[in-house]
């Protein structure tokens, strides 16, 4: 009966690991496009769009313990503006929340075996207790039976004596019976006392086991509440992330749908350009070649490509892709639907495979001659030439 469990009462609380926060920032996609492909048509006077009101975030930091990872995450998630949030920010919070859910699940699961074991130990003690109780009942019954017998035997002895017949043998027998009954009774009483003490110990052990189990179950409830909060946080943030992704998709679709389908395109050397500049560009390339300058580069590109460039040069948030001022991107990149490239009216020139800089012979040649072919340079980017200079 020495199988008492000793377990320090649940210090375990929130081992929710700070790992969650170490997740770190997910690398931005590399600039898959060369800077030469940037579009420098700076659209002035296009103030950043006002953020659409973010919906109330349904899982507040008060659902988590003060200073915990969960509280930090809930605070960040509810403060996040989906319009301005980058892919990296979204992914980082999503990963941290996933880790929080996972560690919360482990925390709940890890207590269960101890609770189950305490229940088993309690059941074993209960079995002992029942058995001891049964023995105690039997003894108790026996003792009361002996008392009655003893009384009867004494009574009999007394009545025998009161009658004149004094058969000494008879009397002696009676006396012995009474004595042996007393011995049996003494013995049974001692046993009964032992059993009762044992029973008391079992009850105490059981009480201790039940207290430990109740403490663990209380802790388990706390952990389950935290798991629920973490799951709710995950659900709520998933909605935020999905809504944001859908919005970006929708605005991409709108920009692509707004693309002019009737732009007449022509191939001129390595370029695809608007039909309207095919002739002067053909002449420009021929004249440059006569002066020893061979141009490469890019002309027309679809809105979908412009969106990719915006992501690379301006950022991955809805705001960065669609609304941020072109001049604040690196390199400056026109907003989807506003690039001269989309109309085939702008060209990014390269020379010997490199984009032009101000000291390139190609740039010097263009600066001297491009105007004759109807092309103007965007001053901030020596490689970008268009009909409007934007
Ligand atoms: Zn360009």
Which DSSP string do the residues of 257-309 spell out, in sequence order?
HTS-S---EEEETTEEEEGGGHHHHHHHHHHHHHTT--EEEE----HHHHHHH
Token pair for 248: 């970006």
Ligand 1 centroid to residue 385 C-alpha, Å: 7
pLDDT of 67? 96
Ligand 1 centroid to residue 380 C-alpha, Å: 11
Ligand 1 centroid to residue 128 C-alpha, Å: 88
pLDDT of 172? 80
Q: What's the average model confidence in pLDDT over 170-198?
A: 85
What are the structural domain ranges in the chain? 19-30+53-257, 265-386
Ligand 1 centroid to residue 356 C-alpha, Å: 11
Ligand 1 centroid to residue 378 C-alpha, Å: 9
Higher local confidence (pLDDT), 25 or 218: 218
CB count within 10 Å of CB 35 equals 15
pLDDT exceeds 90 at position 332: no
Ligand 1 centroid to residue 139 C-alpha, Å: 104
Ligand 1 centroid to residue 252 C-alpha, Å: 20
Lowest mean pLDDT among 11-15, 189-193, 195-199: 11-15
Ligand 1 centroid to residue 281 C-alpha, Å: 15
Nearest by Cα to 100 from 237, 231, 223:
231
pLDDT of 12? 38
Q: CA-to-CA distance for 253 and 62, rounded, in angstroms?
A: 39
Ligand 1 centroid to residue 73 C-alpha, Å: 41
Higher local confidence (pLDDT), 143 or 53: 143
Ligand 1 centroid to residue 331 C-alpha, Å: 10
pLDDT of 277? 97
pLDDT of 2? 40
pLDDT exceeds 60 at position 31: no
Ligand 1 centroid to residue 206 C-alpha, Å: 81
Q: Scan for tokens 């975030």, then name that residue.
A: 57
Lowest mean pLDDT among 314-318, 328-332, 344-348: 328-332
- DSSP string computed for 91-154: HHHHHHHHHHHHHHHHHHHHHHHHHHHHHHHHHHHHHHHHHHHHHHHHHHHHHHHHHHHHHHHH
Q: What's the average model confidence in pLDDT over 341-367?
A: 96
pLDDT of 144? 87
CATH says 265-386 is which class? alpha beta
pLDDT of 42? 45
**Helix 87-162 / helix 168-257 crossing angle, nearest 10 deg:** 170
pLDDT in tens, 99-134: 999 999 999 999 999 999 999 999 999 999 999 999
Ligand 1 centroid to residue 43 C-alpha, Å: 13
pLDDT in tens, 221-248: 999 999 999 999 999 999 999 999 999 9
Q: Which residues are CB-contacts of 68 (< 8 A; sequence separation ≥ 6)?
A: 14, 16
What torsion do the CA atoms of 116, 119, 120, 122 make, to the nearest 10 degrees? 160
Ligand 1 centroid to residue 343 C-alpha, Å: 12
Ligand 1 centroid to residue 283 C-alpha, Å: 20
What torsion do the CA atoms of 163, 164, 169, 171 make, to the nearest 10 degrees? 40
Ligand 1 centroid to residue 347 C-alpha, Å: 6
Ligand 1 centroid to residue 39 C-alpha, Å: 4
pLDDT of 113? 97
Ligand 1 centroid to residue 249 C-alpha, Å: 24
Q: What's the average model confidence in pLDDT over 55-71?
A: 93
Ligand 1 centroid to residue 198 C-alpha, Å: 93
Q: What's the average model confidence in pLDDT over 197-222?
A: 97
What percent of the chain clears pLDDT 90, i.e. is strictly above it? 69
Ligand 1 centroid to residue 278 C-alpha, Å: 17
CATH no., domain 19-30+53-257 = 1.10.287
Q: Model confidence at 4, in pLDDT bands (50, 70, 90)?
A: very low
Ligand 1 centroid to residue 99 C-alpha, Å: 43
Residues 275, 302 contacting (CB under 8 angstroms): no
Q: What's the average model confidence in pLDDT over 291-316?
A: 96
Ligand 1 centroid to residue 136 C-alpha, Å: 99
Lowest mean pLDDT among 32-41, 257-266, 314-323: 32-41
Ligand 1 centroid to residue 250 C-alpha, Å: 25
Mean pLDDT of the chain, nearest integer: 86
The region, left, alpha or beta by phi > 0 then psi within -120 to 50, assigned to residue 344 is left
Ligand 1 centroid to residue 381 C-alpha, Å: 8
pLDDT exceeds 50 at position 45: no
Ligand 1 centroid to residue 318 C-alpha, Å: 22
Nearest by Cα to 312 from 342, 336, 333:
333
Residues 362, 12 contacting (CB under 8 angstroms): no
Q: What's the average model confidence in pLDDT over 310-333?
A: 95
- Dihedral sign, CA of 191, 193, 194, 200? positive
Ligand 1 centroid to residue 329 C-alpha, Å: 13
User: Measured in whole angstroms, how far is the alpha carbon of residue 330 from the centre of its chain?
Assistant: 33
pLDDT exceeds 60 at position 352: yes
Ligand 1 centroid to residue 321 C-alpha, Å: 17
Ligand 1 centroid to residue 390 C-alpha, Å: 9
pLDDT in tens, 129-177: 999 999 999 998 988 888 888 777 777 766 766 555 556 777 788 788 8
pLDDT of 47? 45
Lowest mean pLDDT among 53-62, 222-231, 352-361: 53-62
């Amino acid at each position: 009966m020495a199988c008492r469990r000793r377990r320090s009462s649940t210090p375990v609380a929130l081992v929710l690991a700070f790992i969650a926060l170490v997740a770190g920032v997910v690398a931005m996609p590399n600039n898959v496009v060369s800077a030469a492909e940037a579009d420098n048509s700076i659209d002035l006077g296009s103030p950043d769009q006002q953020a659409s009101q973010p919906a109330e975030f349904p899982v507040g930091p008060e659902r988590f313990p003060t200073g915990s990872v969960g509280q930090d995450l809930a605070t960040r998630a509810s403060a996040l503006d989906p319009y301005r949030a980058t892919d990296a920010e979204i992914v980082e919070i999503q990963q941290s929340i996933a880790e929080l859910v996972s560690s919360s699940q482990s925390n709940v699961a890890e207590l269960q075996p101890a609770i189950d074991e305490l229940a088993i130990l309690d059941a074993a003690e209960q079995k002992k207790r029942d058995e001891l109780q049964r023995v105690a009942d039997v003894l108790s019954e026996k003792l009361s039976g002996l008392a009655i017998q003893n009384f009867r035997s004494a009574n009999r002895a007394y009545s025998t004596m009161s009658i004149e017949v004094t058969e000494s043998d008879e009397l002696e027998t009676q006396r012995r019976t009474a004595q042996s009954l007393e011995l049996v009774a003494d013995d049974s009483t001692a046993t009964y006392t032992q059993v009762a003490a044992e029973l008391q110990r079992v009850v105490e052990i059981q009480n201790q086991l039940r207290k430990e189990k109740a403490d663990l179950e209380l802790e388990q409830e706390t952990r389950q509440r935290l798991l629920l909060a973490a799951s709710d946080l995950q659900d709520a943030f998933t909605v935020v992330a999905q809504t944001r992704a859908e919005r970006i998709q929708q605005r991409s679709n709108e920009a692509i749908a707004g693309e002019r389908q009737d732009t007449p395109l022509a191939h001129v050397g390595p370029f695809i350009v608007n039909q309207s500049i095919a002739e002067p560009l053909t002449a420009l390339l021929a004249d440059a070649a006569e002066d020893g300058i061979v141009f490469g580069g890019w002309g027309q590109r679809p809105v979908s490509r412009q969106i990719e460039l915006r992501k690379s040069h301006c950022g991955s948030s809805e705001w960065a892709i669609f609304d941020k001022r072109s001049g604040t991107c690196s390199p400056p990149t026109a907003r989807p639907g506003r690039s001269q490239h989309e109309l085939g009216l702008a060209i990014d020139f390269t020379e010997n495979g490199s984009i032009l800089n101000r000291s390139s012979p190609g740039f010097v040649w263009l600066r001297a001659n491009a105007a004759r072919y109807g092309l103007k340079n965007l001053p901030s980017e020596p490689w970008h030439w268009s009909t409007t200079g934007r």
